[in-house]
A and B are shown apart, each in its own frame.
Chain A
Amino acid sequence: MNFQDIIHALQTYWKKQGCLVIQPYDLEKGAGTFNPATFFGSLTQKPANICYVEPCRRPADGRYGENPNRFGKYYQFQVIMKPAPADIQQLYLNSLRAIGLDPKQHDVRWVEDDWQSPTLGAGGVGWEIWMDGMEITQFTYFQIMAGYTLKSVTAEITYGLERIAMYSQKKSTAMDIMWNDKITYGEMVKESERQFSHYNFEEANVENLRRLVAENEEECKTLCRKGLYLPAYDCAMRVSHYFNTLEARGAISVSDRTNIIAKIRALAKLCAAGYIEADSAREAGHE
């Protein structure tokens, strides 16, 4: 199955399971979990069933398009279901069937792997899922988000789309994946990988980035004070991305790193608090 068909098949499958199919969020982020749909969606007891493709940027992982398996930008397919249905593991296994990988024909293993994000102040319990030894999915039951212990538990399924496509197309590198039947993944991303690696490792203006970190941090706090937690959270995401770029640029010392991560965590918590407050006010309004 080619890359775009895999995405299409996953969307179709999860749509049938009652998920809202949404589009990627239009800001840089390190992982699909940062998408507001997941971040805010997991916080309260309101049900949430959503799926989406999310491009993820990890500036430090770029290799100028020269390493066939490492990229500064790649794609995740993300599913969240809250409350987590009791048959969620089987729903996942059936989704593999939907993309042509029958679990009965392969060795599917659930390997203990508890996920944590110090930047989001989040953590969960779960597995990385191996197919014939290759990690293809991260499966997590969120326990904490933005420092809040969650009463209603979200199951988050994150498919590594390149890994799955490599496996299903029997390609030894991600560059060789067929995006459709004519064009390879490599052709699609190689030039962008080259340019962004240059930018992230050599050209990114450190002074500007530091200034942007400071400005967005301030703006996030100001907006939170005004109850505008959605644009505030955009600022927090920007801080996180600029920080990742600074790190790729080699401009972050060990103590810097701890400090900035703590700052982003505090911002995420402010935004979450705003959301929870507004949500309970809305609930009260309904009664």
Chain B
Amino acid sequence: MNNALLEIFTEHLPARFVPPALAQMQTLADEILNRRNLKYAGARAFGTYRRLVLEIKDLAPRAEDTQKEIKGPPAALLKDGEGRYTQQAAGFAQKNGLEPRDLVIIETEKGPFIYARVKIKGESAAKLLPDIFREIISSLAFPKNMVWEDSGFKFARPIRGLIGLYGDKVVKFEVAGVKSGRATYPISSFGMKPIKISVPENYVKTLAAQPQPVLAEPEERRKALLNAVNSAAARLGYKADLDEDLIAETISFTEHPVALAGDMDIKFLALPKELITTVLKKQLRMFPVLDEAGGLQPHFIAVRDGISANTGEVREGFKNVMTARLTDAVFFFENDLKTGLDKMRQKLAGVNFIDGMGSMLDKTERVEKLAADIAAALNLPADKTENIKKAARYCYADLASGVVYEFPELQGCMGAVYAEKSGGFAKHEARAMGEFYLPLSASSQLPQSLEGAVLALAGKMDTLAANFTTGNIPTGSEDPFALRRAAMGAVKIMLEHNFALSLGDIIAMAGRRLPPAQGSKINGLRAFMWQRAANIFEQEGLAADEIAAVEGLENITLQRAASAARALNAARAGGTLAAVGEIAKRVGNILKKSGAPAADIDEALLKTEAERQLHKTLLEVRAAAPENNAAPEAALSELAKFKEPLERFFTEVMVNDSDEKLKNNRLALLGGVNRLLTGAVADLSKLQKRG
């Protein structure tokens, strides 16, 4: 069987577009080939930022035959009274190329009807492929599209060539004025002399065999890149800083990565390491060079696309650009040191935070107060509180620095550097400033120091409270203020550092510091933050109902909610808990229906043994105070004690007694039980039955 190949040859796609486009191509191919009933052994997408390639292995020459059921007249018209096919039936059969005896009767909603089962012959792959290739190309979605020619076709960058092959035959089609053929082209600096591809399986080989080889497969480029960068570093006697983001970007930004090592003037090493590596990686796409201990060395490894002569001049060029950029960095850094954190902090008065919430200086002042509030709520010692307040006073100052203006990703980090260099800060204070923006992403590190954790929490809570109060609430995928990340960070910090705070507590604290001060609640914020907590619990393996069971307990700390949900998860295996959950649901339903006001239990009215036993259990469990039990597992086994008395109660006792007094007393008894079952550790009625 023959293989098929599609190559979309474009002008340079943005590196970040390439991996998602290839993933889509693969999915689209599978989806479309299946829909068209074309069998194949496998489809794979690969390519570079100039060629998106799809290879289909062993594509069947024809689509599978399919069957179609065509509806005819009602079943009564199949045969006449004498058992002969009617004229209508015979005509219907003939129309569909069948004998009358091949007709079938199928029951429908409107009664039985005659049907013709018709075989549809599968079309040839050669005939289907032009459509399939066109559909794949026009279905690829990019973050941003453009038009470049008069037909108005949209794609990420102009399409300049198309290969369509099935075996050794060209699959002819046209997109955006470009006709398919078997030609592809070299790396862009090496002209447009066509490279002919004979058959699909030769594509990769043919490109790799060019005088300027193209490594069409991303894995091959990754290997080549790592190999080149590592050997370049080894030749220098060091190792390369193999930043995964930079590696991923580079393999989508080259067709044949070649490494080029050069020297850096040693004077630049006086700059903070983070600043140099940011300049190298982000501005220049170069790999920094490190010694075994991770210390930065005065070298760089640049990557160029394709091998060529003139290495000396190219290296010199890269070095000059790096020198210019690092010279800029030195200028900004030295200027910042001269300015100092105090002046930077004052500049924040002229920087708007969000409308209605003052300047960044106002925000700084709020964060300082909020951080102190949190420290007080956590009963932190006075010296730690002072450290936190001092760090808070300067936590946003570096936003007014030249370096952070140039490299926003160094916020926090530069603040810590300037604090250290100034000599006016304790070690913990500088460290907390450096941890202020952590965690930067879902997987990144959290603040490690207690001071950093409190400060980072305060900063995030002020951002959340201020945005929610002014109506900047994320909807759908829109989250311009990165509030989901802030909420996730706040929740993670509270969990990781075991802060004895409920979501309600921390929201109330943040709200109190806003202008104007907000009441104890900010609309929607608790639910928003809870959703982040729920995501974390889910990732940990807890079930949705276990998480839902602790959601409503508003006054417990996040840590307590987590341990209660974990205890539910663990206790579930025994089966008792599920049974208690079912009963809790029943209790809840009865109470809801009755709508009876809460009343005190009158022991004299407990007529039956079942009632008395349940009451006794209630007193025992209540005395054990499961809500105060530090171990939720133990508290849950307390609650499990309700199982038998409740089962007996429901077997032997009619709650809805005709005697109103008896009925209300029974409801009061159930009410007492219900409060424990739904509010002591978790709301057990939320637990779902498991199959």
Interface residues of chain A, those whose CB is within 8 Å of chain B, are 69, 83-84, 86-87, 89-90, 93, 103-112, 114, 124-125, 127, 131-134, 141, 143, 151-153, 167, 170, 172, 254
Contacts and interface: CB of A to CB of B under 8 A. Distances in A.
Given A104-B308, A254-B352, A110 B148 contact: no
Given A86-B160, A125-B157, A143-B146, A131 B317 contact: yes
Contacts of B148: 84, 141, 153
B318 interface: yes
Interface of B: 11-12, 14-16, 144, 146-150, 152, 157-158, 160, 188-192, 253, 284, 286, 302, 304-306, 308-310, 313-314, 316-318, 320-324, 352
B308 A105 contact: yes
A105 B313 contact: yes
Contacts of A125: 144, 146, 157
A127 B158 CA distance: 13
A87 B146 contact: no
A220 B190 CA distance: 49
24 contacts: A83-B149, A84-B148, A86-B149, A86-B160, A93-B188, A93-B189, A105-B310, A105-B314, A106-B308, A107-B306, A107-B308, A107-B314, A124-B146, A125-B146, A132-B316, A132-B317, A133-B317, A133-B322, A134-B317, A141-B148, A141-B158, A152-B150, A153-B148, A172-B320
Contacts of A170: 316
Contacts of B323: 172
Contacts of B286: 133
B188 A110 contact: yes
Contacts of B320: 134, 172
Contacts of A107: 302, 304-306, 308, 314, 317-318
Contacts of B147: 143, 153
Nearest to A131: B317
Contacts of B309: 104-105
Contacts of B16: 112
A-B interface, 5 closest residue pairs, ranked by CB to CB distance from nearest: A132-B317, A112-B14, A107-B304, A103-B189, A110-B12
Contact of B318 (A83, A114, A133): A133
A133 B190 contact: no
B191 A90 contact: yes
A89 B160 CA distance: 10
Given A69-B324, A125-B146, A172-B324, 12 more contacts: A84-B158, A86-B149, A103-B190, A106-B310, A107-B302, A108-B188, A112-B15, A133-B318, A151-B150, A153-B146, A153-B147, A172-B323
A90 B324 contact: no
Contacts of A83: 149-150
A89 B308 contact: no
Contacts of B149: 83-84, 86, 153
Contacts of A131: 317
A48 to B, nearest CB: 15
Contacts of A105: 308-310, 313-314
Nearest to A69: B324
A105 B312 CA distance: 10
Given A105-B309, A131-B317, A143-B146, A151 B152 contact: yes
B313 A106 contact: yes
A66 to B, nearest CB: 12
B399 to A, nearest CB: 15
Contacts of A114: 144
B317 A141 contact: no
A102 to B, nearest CB: 8
A132 B14 contact: no
A157 to B, nearest CB: 13
Contacts of B152: 151
B146 A106 contact: no
A86 B185 CA distance: 14
Nearest to B315: A132
A20 B11 CA distance: 26
Nearest to B260: A107
Interface centre among B11, B191, B352 (most CB of A within 10 A): B11
B354 to A, nearest CB: 13
Contacts of B306: 107
B302 A133 contact: yes
A172 B157 CA distance: 34
B12 A127 contact: yes
A172 B302 CA distance: 19
Contacts of A108: 188-189
Interface centre among B149, B189, B253, B306 (most CB of A within 10 A): B189
A125 B11 CA distance: 12
A20 B192 CA distance: 26
Nearest to B50: A110
Nearest to B317: A132
Contacts of A109: 253, 305
A110 B11 contact: yes
A39 B508 CA distance: 55
B36 to A, nearest CB: 32
Given A89-B11, A106-B314, A133 B146 contact: no
Contacts of B314: 105-107, 132
B615 to A, nearest CB: 69
A113 B11 CA distance: 13
Contacts of A141: 146, 148, 158
Nearest to A167: B317
Contacts of A93: 188-189
Nearest to B253: A109
A38 to B, nearest CB: 17
Nearest to A92: B188
A104 B321 CA distance: 19
Interface centre among B14, B152, B253, B309 (most CB of A within 10 A): B14
Contacts of B14: 112
B350 to A, nearest CB: 9
Nearest to A112: B14
Contact of A87 (B12, B192, B316): B192
Nearest to B284: A133
Contacts of B11: 89, 110
Nearest to A114: B144
B646 to A, nearest CB: 66
B283 to A, nearest CB: 9
Nearest to B321: A133
Contacts of A151: 150, 152
A105 B188 CA distance: 13
B197 to A, nearest CB: 20
A10 to B, nearest CB: 19
Nearest to B160: A86
A93 B188 CA distance: 9
B189 A134 contact: no
A213 B149 CA distance: 38
B12 to A, nearest CB: 4
A80 B622 CA distance: 83
B143 to A, nearest CB: 10
A124 B314 CA distance: 30
Nearest to A254: B352
A104 B308 CA distance: 7
A131 B320 CA distance: 12
B190 A104 contact: yes
B334 to A, nearest CB: 14
Contacts of A167: 317
Contacts of A172: 320, 323-324
B359 to A, nearest CB: 11
Contacts of A103: 189-190
B330 to A, nearest CB: 13
A167 B192 CA distance: 26
A109 B12 CA distance: 9
B245 to A, nearest CB: 15
Nearest to B314: A132
Contacts of B324: 69, 172
A109 B308 CA distance: 14
A37 B284 CA distance: 34
